[in-house]
Amino acid sequence: MSPNDNFKRELNNAIDDVSGAPSSGLRDRVRAAVTEAQPERSTYWIAAVAACVITALIVGILYVNNPFRRPVGVVNPGATPSPSAAPSTQPTPSPSSTPSPTRTYICTADTVDQMNPKASPIAYISAARTGAHPDEGYDRFVIEFANGFPSEFAELTPRDGTSFTETASGQTIKLKGSNGILLRIHGADMHTSYSGQTDWVTGYKTLAQVRVLEDFEGVINIGLGVNGNGPVCYHAEYQPNPARLVVDVQAAT
Amino acid sequence: MSAALMEQRPQVLSRALEGDSDSFTRLIEPLLDPAYRLAAVMLADRTSAEDAVQEAAVKAWRKLRQFRGDATALRPWFLSIVANECRMLRRGRWWSVLKFPDVRESEPEAPETYTDLRRALLRLSPDERLPLVLHFYLDLPLDEVARTLGVSSSAAKSRIYRAAKRLRSDLTMEEVF
């Protein structure tokens, strides 16, 4: 028996142990539920009209009530007009777009969906920066890519405490803050087009520290140290123009 | 899946696409057991797994008009709906925040028995468990694993290998595939 067979057998035993067999009533439950449900009709035009109306309403409400609207012609010297490639340690407002009011924060491990155009084979990070948004209830970490989005997924894993393993040295390091998030980006590197800062001690209310833990063979591990006693919740997404990964860490309530 | 059903699947699929719910349930009944195993491992909760499979079946029925492909593409399509349903269930469960530290106490060490392997398996995130179930337990071909995960075959291979390595660090690529 090969090592693979042993591993597979043991793993399948473990999976059997976790899952058990489905109950005898599952088939009937599914059949009954499907019979009751109606298949979706071709109602795309209704959905499209509804989406247009809702969008118009939201845009109108945001236009009237937008707290971020600035008087025309006034230049804010503290704000960067467009996403900058220069890394920063100062708590400056993030140059990215205003977060969607419908955003959802999640507090468990999750992955970020891929986006086009995908870099091939590796997305080169060209800039990284932090930004404080205390009034909006989050702090932000942004990574920009020079040649498109990573072709593989990124994953975020909240964890208790701020101890992370720095892979190259094998040493455990403790970041500032009380809890953390491990951000792992697959299919990217941070040494081809980037030579800036790899450790940010921010002084922000929420995002206390960001530190690159690994940059090896197309996988980047980044530790985020977060202040607050509750669970760490975040919103992460890829955004285009320029291609970037945006991680917003929700302030503790 | 019975040979008779395999032969009739294109016709059964056509009838299901025309709105025949009996034909649809005939198509997915053979997939309920693998779907349940997948959900049970992702959620580590048997009751929730059955709920996820039921809800996924209803969503698949409602979205059947969006299904593109022949009857052979049904399995990865349905399993991907089940996996999405599991992710949604986990996000919707407020107590998952409290449960989280129970399965993330430390990095997995090399397990010696399947009981250790079970513990190590549950320490993985649900999205890391997913490719392991698809590849090792359900024996899906790599292209079906890739379609279920919504990634390329090479990315699927990479995910399987990475997850397997987290369970047993001395595994080589040749031992996994």
Question: Residue B177: which pLDDT band, with cuts at 50, 70 and 90?
Answer: confident
Tokens of A36: 């009751």
CA distance A203 to chain B (A): 27
B54 or A115, which is more confident: B54
Q: How far is CA B92 from the centre of its chain?
A: 19
Cβ-nearest to A30 among B54, B117, B122: B54
Tokens of B101: 């530290």
pLDDT attached to residue A98: 52
Please say if the pLDDT value at position A149 is more than 80. yes
Question: Residue A130: which pLDDT band, with cuts at 50, 70 and 90?
Answer: very high
What is the pLDDT averaged over residues B63-90? 88
Residue A114 touches partner B, C-beta closer than 8 Å: yes
Residue A17 touches partner B, C-beta closer than 8 Å: yes
Q: How far is CA A159 from the centre of its chain?
A: 15
- CA B49-B142-B7 angle, to 5 degrees, is 80
Phi then psi for residue A106, to 5 deg, are: -120, 155
Please say if the pLDDT value at position A62 is more than 50. yes
| Minimum CA–CA partner of A43 in chain B | B65
What is the pLDDT averaged over residues A173-179? 93
Interchain CB distance below 8 Å, A157 and B104: yes
What is the pLDDT averaged over residues A213-224? 89
Best CA proximity match to A247, nearest among A138, A118, A114, A98? A138
What is the pLDDT averaged over residues B60-67? 87
> CB–CB of A170/A102 below 8 Å?
no
Question: Residue A75: which pLDDT band, with cuts at 50, 70 and 90?
Answer: very low
What is the pLDDT averaged over residues A137-162? 91
Q: Which residues contact B11 (CB under 8 A, 6 or more apart)?
A: none
Residue A170 touches partner B, C-beta closer than 8 Å: no
**Residues from chain A contacting residue B121 (CB–CB below 8 Å):** 11, 14-15, 18
Question: Residue A87: which pLDDT band, with cuts at 50, 70 and 90?
Answer: very low
> CB–CB of B140/B131 below 8 Å?
no
Three-class DSSP category at B10: helix
If you classify domain B1-93 with CATH, what class do you get? mainly alpha
pLDDT attached to residue A52: 86
Tens-place pLDDT, residues B111-156: 455 567 888 899 999 999 999 999 999 999 999 999 999 888 888 9
| Minimum CA–CA partner of B17 in chain A | A39
pLDDT attached to residue B84: 92
Question: What is chain A's mean pLDDT, rounded?
Answer: 80
| Minimum CA–CA partner of A19 in chain B | B40
Interchain CB distance below 8 Å, A4 and B90: no
What is the pLDDT averaged over residues A127-145? 93
- Write down the domain spans for chain A: 3-65, 110-250
pLDDT attached to residue A97: 47
Question: Residue A102: which pLDDT band, with cuts at 50, 70 and 90?
Answer: low
| Minimum CA–CA partner of B122 in chain A | A18
Tens-place pLDDT, residues A2-51: 556 778 888 999 999 899 999 989 999 999 999 888 766 556 677 788 88
pLDDT attached to residue A30: 93
Distance from C-alpha of B159 to C-alpha of A39, rounded to nearest angstrom: 34
**The CATH number, out of the four listed (1.10.10.10, 2.60.120.10, 3.40.50.720, 1.10.260.40), of the domain defined by the range B100-177:** 1.10.10.10
**Residues from chain B contacting residue A4 (CB–CB below 8 Å):** 174-176
pLDDT attached to residue A3: 55
Question: Other C-beta atoms within 10 Å of B89: how many?
Answer: 20
pLDDT attached to residue B1: 52
Q: How many residues does chain A have?
A: 253
Best CA proximity match to B31, nearest among B65, B90, B81, B78? B78
Produce one character per residue of A180-195: b if its CB has 16 or more CB atoms within 10 Å, e if not.
bbbbbbbbbbbeebbe
Q: Best interface-test mutation with B: which of A1, A6, A13, A26 has the largest number of B CBs within 10 A? A: A26
CATH code reported for the domain at A110-250: 2.60.40.3500
How much is the ipTM here? 0.80
pLDDT attached to residue B72: 81
Tokens of B55: 């809800």
Please say if the pLDDT value at position A85 is more than 70. no
Tens-place pLDDT, residues B3-48: 566 667 778 888 888 888 999 999 999 999 999 999 999 999 999 9
Please say if the pLDDT value at position A116 is more than 60. yes
- Write down the domain spans for chain B: 1-93, 100-177
Q: Which residues contact A167 (CB under 8 A, 6 or more apart)?
A: A213, A214, A216, A221
CA distance B136 to chain A (A): 6
